[in-house]
Amino acid sequence: MITRVEVVARRGPGGRTVLPVVRSCGQLAVRRTGPSTVHLVATAFGPLGGDDAEIRLVVEEGATLAVRTVAAAIALPDRAGDRPSAQRVVAEVAGELDLRPEPTVVTARADHRASVTATLAPGAVLTATEQVLLGRTGEEPGRWTGTTRVVVGGRPLLHTTVGLGPGAPAWLPPVAPRAWASTVHVGQAAGVRTAEDAVRLPLENGWVATAWGAELHTVVRAVEAVA
């Protein structure tokens, strides 16, 4: 199934954020839940292998947009073959974007490809989080690939691809975690911080924090502790 979401946030009268464009089709609906907050609501099971979702977010200068989801996404395998499911977030930010979806659970035999591509104007503020759990309770881990590319003022700031699950390049014992969390922030600088299975790395005017481990709740706590 093809899913397309588009939200444009604009600075309106009195500095309030208005949303002149809120569009969706496919498996996600958009609900405005606050002055500058939208929730993405899944309207079907999935994503399933073969599904393709693109979420386009535009935050114009002076506007603020927070994007949430109402529940964890459960990535399921292709029913017919072995096609991956894909979700791309494409963001153009001149204002402030806060993107914090609920976790993605990748079930056994599922292959989910996620990407966040953020193009920022100088002075834009971005916070984007990602939380991944491979397999439901007692289930074999699925496969997840996540790519993050952040460009600020035309210059690449961060471009990384993390592969998790059986067959992923850097997912080999003894470090083959079931749970993974990451936060990238642009807007305020921070230095290196390390912990057990967690690290924060500085970016120009920002940082990226990553944590991994066996349980999602401990990993989320770990990434928040170094962030």
Partner 1 sequence: MTASLLTLADSRLPAGGHAHSGGVEQAVAAGLVRDPASLAAFLLRRLQTAGAVAAGLAAAATTLSSSGRHRGQVPSPVAPSPTSPSSEEPPAPSSSGLVAALLALDAEADARTPSPALRAASRQQGRGLVRVGRRAWPSPPWDALPAAPHHPVALGVAAAAGGLTPRDAAAAAAYLSVSGPATAAQRLLAMDPLTVAAVTARLAPEIDAVADAAVREGLPADTDPLLDLLAEVHVVRKGRFFAS
What residues make contact with partner 1 under the rule CB under 8 A? 147, 149-150, 155-163, 169-170, 172-175, 192, 194, 197-199, 201-203, 208, 210, 212
How far apart are the C-alpha atoms of 184 and 186, rounded to whole Å? 7
How far apart are the C-alpha atoms of 139 and 161, rounded to whole Å? 25
Nearest residue (CB) to partner 1, 147 versus 218 = 147
Nearest residue (CB) to partner 1, 80 versus 172 = 172
Nearest residue (CB) to partner 1, 76 versus 208 = 208
Query: Nearest to residue 101, comparing CAs of 66, 134, 151?
Result: 66
Name the minimum Å distance from CB 61 to partner 1. Answer: 23
How far apart are the C-alpha atoms of 4 and 41, rounded to whole Å? 13
Q: Determine the Cα angle at 39 with ends 33 and 41, to 5°.
A: 125
How far apart are the C-alpha atoms of 212 and 227, rounded to whole Å? 14
Name the minimum Å distance from CB 204 to partner 1. Answer: 9
Nearest residue (CB) to partner 1, 57 versus 222 = 222
Structure tokens at 172: 């080999």
Place of tokens 């569009």: 23
| Cα of 64 vs its chain's centroid, Å | 18
Name the minimum Å distance from CB 164 to partner 1. Answer: 11
Nearest residue (CB) to partner 1, 108 versus 199 = 199
Q: Determine the Cα angle at 154 with ends 148 and 159, to 5°.
A: 20
Name the minimum Å distance from CB 168 to partner 1. Answer: 9
Contact criterion met (CB below 8 Å) for 182 and 209: yes
Nearest residue (CB) to partner 1, 27 versus 180 = 180
Name the minimum Å distance from CB 167 to partner 1. Answer: 11
Name the minimum Å distance from CB 202 to partner 1. Answer: 6
